Amino acid sequence: MAPVDMVNGAPPPLPGKKRRIGVITSGGDALGMNEIVRAVVRMSIAKGCEAYGIYEGYGIYEGYEGLEGGMLIGTARCKAFTQRPGRLRAAKNMIVNGIDALIICGGDGSLTGADIFRAEWQGLLKELVDTKELAAEQTEPFTHLNIVGLVGSIDNDMSSTDATIGCYSSLIRICEAVDYIDATAFSHQRAFVIEVMGRYCGWLALMAGVSTGADFVFLPEMPPSDDWEKQMCDIISKHRKLGKRKAIVIVAEGARDRFLNKISPTKVKDLLSNDLKLDTRITTLGHVQRGGNACAYDQMLSTLQGVEAVDAVLDATPETPTPVIAIIENKIGREPLIEAVKLTHEVAEAIEAKDFDRAMGLRDAEFAEYHSAYMATTATDQPKLMLPKEKARNILLFGQQTERHLSQRLGQLL
């Protein structure tokens, strides 16, 4: 590629190339993001386009030079991009580098930024011309900003898609860690309070609870009842009396009670230590949840969604609403980015407003069902099932069939 001429503008497009597509990974890293870059670059080339990887998230702000081909391009939380002057510089750098389409893989923050960038685009170009930073003829080929979003985040907090890229790899990391902790908890007959990430979203905590059969979980969208301290202690002491040698409590980092007081791992540990006299430890899993290799599901999702993103760039007309690539009931498709961002923000707003029913309503329908399934499979006293009748009956039937088999294995399982 010819070097970028910062004075005269973009390098000439390679002969016969349709578009120059930039790909960015932004916000908290999530496993699968590298596969996104690979897929976007390869698909762009296959479709007769040029591909640029842009370093360090919204690094276009800093004017990082692009690179050809897929590789680790870094991610960042770029403060400057949250302000208009930062986005103005980003717009200029895109034009100067001749990038006429952007594929952005990030969480709700990055996609919010993408949405704002898109909405401001015409104004940014006008300002660049008015302040003589760019000539009108330089901006002309870039009148419409072509953006496509991909959801990369461990949190699985984005509305309009069933799974965010990285969430299943992170869930695997958490479950592996709980398995390791289980072993030492069993040996010492200890209780462990395990804090998992997820910001406002309890998906990782809930799914970890479902998968590992944790004794208790705390989720931001579903604060526990007002007497949660007693409820948790009753359940755990009941499990102990049944012969369970260990106790595992999973606390989402955003967990709050109904009055929005933080439910911290320390608070939970103090209760277990002081009220139940359990030898209790805290493990904060932290950034371990974002490490390791992407699981096959995330590798597959990233590749298929990267391919779809390039197709979406090429299908776009000035009238096409900016899409975010989603997976819904196993089908990859496109959803309106603005709507997805709006709905995602509404969950956090509902939690802040203590409107927990609304927060739950805004999550996928499965969220409440998975919680009921967690309760049904974990509690010793069967709670009232919130599942639709049919599903509840299936679970109970399955329970009857397996009761004898389970009771034989119970000692081992406990």
Ligand X SMILES: Nc1ncnc2c1ncn2[C@@H]1O[C@H](COP(=O)(O)OP(=O)(O)O)[C@@H](O)[C@H]1O
CB 355 within 8 Å of CB 338:
no
Residue of 9, 22, 27, 209 that binds ligand X (CB under 6 A): 27
CB 176 within 8 Å of CB 149:
no
Beta bridge pairs of residue 146: 101
CB 109 within 8 Å of CB 155:
no
Among residues 93 and 283, whose Cβ is nearest to ligand X? 93
Stretch that binds ligand X, among 93-101, 109-117, 211-219, 399-407 (CB under 6 A): 109-117
- E-assigned strand segments in 1-108: 20-25, 50-53, 101-106
Q: Binding of ligand FBP at residue 113 (CB under 6 A)?
A: no
Q: Binding of ligand FBP at residue 173 (CB under 6 A)?
A: no
Q: Binding of ligand X at residue 26 (CB under 6 A)?
A: yes
Distance, in Å, from the CA atom of 351 to the CA atom of 218, rounded to the nearest integer, reads: 14
Among residues 161 and 378, whose Cβ is nearest to ligand FBP? 161
Q: Is 274 exposed, middle or buried (0-12, 13-18, 19+ CB in 10 A)?
A: exposed
Distance, in Å, from the CA atom of 55 to the CA atom of 52, rounded to the nearest integer, reads: 9
Encoded tokens for 129: 């011309």
Minimum CB–partner distance for residue 399 and ligand X (Å):
40
Contacts to ligand FBP from residues 273-312, by CB under 6 A: 290
Query: At residue 399, what are phi and psi to the nearest 5 degrees?
Result: -60, -45
Q: Binding of ligand X at residue 223 (CB under 6 A)?
A: no
Residue of 53, 86, 109, 209 that binds ligand FBP (CB under 6 A): 109
154 binds, among ligand X, ligand FBP, none (CB under 5 to 8 A by kind): ligand FBP
284 binds, among ligand X, ligand FBP, none (CB under 5 to 8 A by kind): none
Among residues 154 and 232, whose Cβ is nearest to ligand FBP? 154
Residue of 100, 108, 221, 253 that binds ligand X (CB under 6 A): 108
Strand pairing class (146-151; 101-106): parallel
Stretch that binds ligand FBP, among 47-55, 151-159, 182-190, 376-384 (CB under 6 A): 151-159
Q: Binding of ligand X at residue 146 (CB under 6 A)?
A: no
Encoded tokens for 14: 């390679």
Catalytic residue among 29, 115, 155, 215: 155
Angle made by CA atoms 163, 166, 172, in degrees to the nearest 5: 100
Beta bridge pairs of residue 327: 332
Stretch that binds ligand FBP, among 117-125, 149-157, 370-378, 389-397 (CB under 6 A): 149-157
199 binds, among ligand X, ligand FBP, none (CB under 5 to 8 A by kind): ligand FBP
Q: Binding of ligand X at residue 78 (CB under 6 A)?
A: yes
Q: Binding of ligand FBP at residue 220 (CB under 6 A)?
A: no
Q: Binding of ligand X at residue 198 (CB under 6 A)?
A: no
Q: Which helix (H) or strand (E) holds 151?
A: strand 146-151
| DSSP structure string for 302-367 | HHHHHHHHHHHHHH--TTSPPEEEEEETTEEEEEEHHHHHHHHHHHHHHHHTT-HHHHHHHS-HHH
Among residues 117 and 200, whose Cβ is nearest to ligand FBP? 200
Q: Is 179 exposed, middle or buried (0-12, 13-18, 19+ CB in 10 A)?
A: exposed
198 binds, among ligand X, ligand FBP, none (CB under 5 to 8 A by kind): ligand FBP
Tell me the number of residues near ligand X by CB under 6 A. 17
Please compute Rg for the chain using Cα positions: 25
Distance, in Å, from the CA atom of 378 to the CA atom of 239, rounded to the nearest integer, reads: 10
Residue of 155, 195, 215, 221 that binds ligand FBP (CB under 6 A): 155
Minimum CB–partner distance for residue 203 and ligand FBP (Å):
10
Residue of 22, 28, 149, 220 that binds ligand FBP (CB under 6 A): 28
Tell me the number of residues near ligand FBP by CB under 6 A. 12
Closest listed residue to residue 156, CA positions, set 31, 67, 299 = 31
Q: Binding of ligand FBP at residue 107 (CB under 6 A)?
A: yes
Q: Known catalytic residue: 155?
A: yes
Q: Binding of ligand X at residue 121 (CB under 6 A)?
A: no
Which residues in this chain contact ligand X in the complex, by CB under 6 A? Answer: 26-28, 58, 77-78, 81-82, 106-110, 112-113, 116, 153
Catalytic positions, written as ranges: 155
